[in-house]
Structure 1
Amino acid sequence: MVAYAGVLTAAFAITVLCGFAPRAARFDTLQVQRIDVAEPDGTLRTVISNHARLPGIIVRGKEQSFERPQAGILFYNDEGSENGGLIFGGHRNANGEVADSGGSLSFDRYDANQIVQLLGVDDHQDRMAGLVVSDSPEKASGHRRIWLGRGDDGAATLALMDGAGRKRLLFQVPAEGDPSLVFLDTQGQVVQRLAPATT
């Protein structure tokens, strides 16, 4: 009887403990509209969402309305402020034109705007793919400082801008034609152009 009671008690204890132990779940398919990943205190750290439920801009846990035509993943810092994301989209508008087609991976400076962005866009308004590096001062609009990529004209370009966002140096290889190195003044006027010698 003692042995029976001991076995029964052990079995009961195992059942209770296993019933409350955290378990990993496996699914073949999981379909959701949005997933929020948060810290134990509720601070938002990551949102994975469709277009309809992608949040606006969240700063220190407070959301400000902001229309985004994409779906994607948004990243938040330790204070619950957005600091980057991976977004993507694309559809046809009422005129049948491809709109908002492309993707972007960006990283923000603490308490400021984007400092690095990798993007690719190909729709009825824009055709570009490249890497952008920007200044991003706190509580102020930043300026693009480096563009490395391909633009609407098909040219492969490395553009270097000054602190005010003005193009000052361009390395460019057009889709057809000779490469060039162009120096510009603060008004955007060409002050010197270097190109291969013609034969």
Structure 2
Amino acid sequence: MMEKLIKEVRILKIYAVSLTVSCALFFFFGFKNQYSSQRFEEIDVERINIVEKDGTLKMVISNKKRQHPGMFNNKSLKPREREAGMIFFNELGDECGGLVYGADKDGSGMVYSVDQRNTDQIMQLQYMEGTGDKKKRTYGLKLWDRPDDFPIEEIIKFEDSLKKLNDPVASKKAYAKLRQEGKLTRERFFAGKTADGDVGLFIKDTNGKIRLKVYVDKNNETHIEKLDESGKVIQ
């Protein structure tokens, strides 16, 4: 009987030691995997969502098919086609810029955008190129002015209402009214190469009319031109 008890105690000791070691290894590797980074030599993925610890979306890296439609006030926009690339989101749940690119039989391009708060882009570093008869290349830095009282949600409602009307005349009048109220986007600045082959600075006034050109044309001729509101060169 004594030998049997000794044998059973020995088995229990071995079991206890084994269980203790197993638990230690479990907790060690469990915490290690939780707090350590993983390394992959190669990974294929259609979309990656970068989020904060609380789940707040900060960036999406995606192919064209799964690209995020955009978001404002923590509300995603209606599904729409967008090019592959990266879309950035701020702490308010607004899209605030991105990098997209694409190409097809008609042309190719790449654009890095910075968005104004509560609305669309005000700065872009862009490259565009057509093909065939439209093979013209333009690239550079472009700036816009956007009103503060016409946020992206109002823009979307306005455009959706015009689509429902399906009336080109009414649409033209509606845009003219917005232009008169100063609610339309105005291009103000371009530095780069135009489709005509001119390289330089092109500055517009608050009405979107070009007022100053400093450039070198495709024939290597230099130009400094000041223009009036009608577009005529001031001598």
Give the TM-score, by structure 1 length.
0.82
Q: 1:187 to 1:68 in 2, by over 3 A?
A: farther
Shift of residue 69, structure 1, vs aligned partner: 4.8
More strand by share: 1
Match of 2:40 among 4, 27, 41: 27
Count of equivalent residues: 186
Shift of residue 136, structure 1, vs aligned partner: 2.7
Shift of residue 34, structure 1, vs aligned partner: 0.8
Q: 1:69 to 1:46 in 2, by over 3 A?
A: closer
1:156 aligns with 2:163: no
Q: Deviations over 1:21-41 (max 9, x none)?
A: 214222222111111112233
1:182 aligns with 2:225: yes
Query: Cα RMSD over matched residues?
Result: 2.3
Distance 2:230 2:76 in 1: 39
Contact 2:69–2:82 (8 Å) recurs in 1: no
Deviates more, 1:56-65 or 1:75-84: 56-65
5 Å-filtered alignment, 1:103-182, equals 103-124=110-131, 125=134, 126-138=136-148, 139=150, 140-182=183-225
Distance 2:26 2:82 in 1: 48
Match of 2:143, SS?
Answer: strand
Structure 2: give runs of 5+ residues left out of the alignment.
Answer: 1-9, 151-182
Contact 2:65–2:81 (8 Å) recurs in 1: no
Shift of residue 9, structure 1, vs aligned partner: 6.0
Shift of residue 137, structure 1, vs aligned partner: 2.6
5 Å-filtered alignment, 1:70-109, equals 70-92=83-105, 98-99=106-107, 101-109=108-116
Contact 2:87–2:98 (8 Å) recurs in 1: yes
More helix by share: 2
Q: 1:154 to 1:4 in 2, by over 3 A?
A: same
State the AA in 1 paired with 2:112. Answer: L
* Larger Rg belongs to: 2
Calculate percent identity across the aligned residue pairs.
30
Q: Deviations over 1:66-103 (max 9, x none)?
A: 644521000001122110001111022xxxxx33x010
State the AA in 2 paired with 1:136. Answer: R
Distance 2:188 2:138 in 1: 17
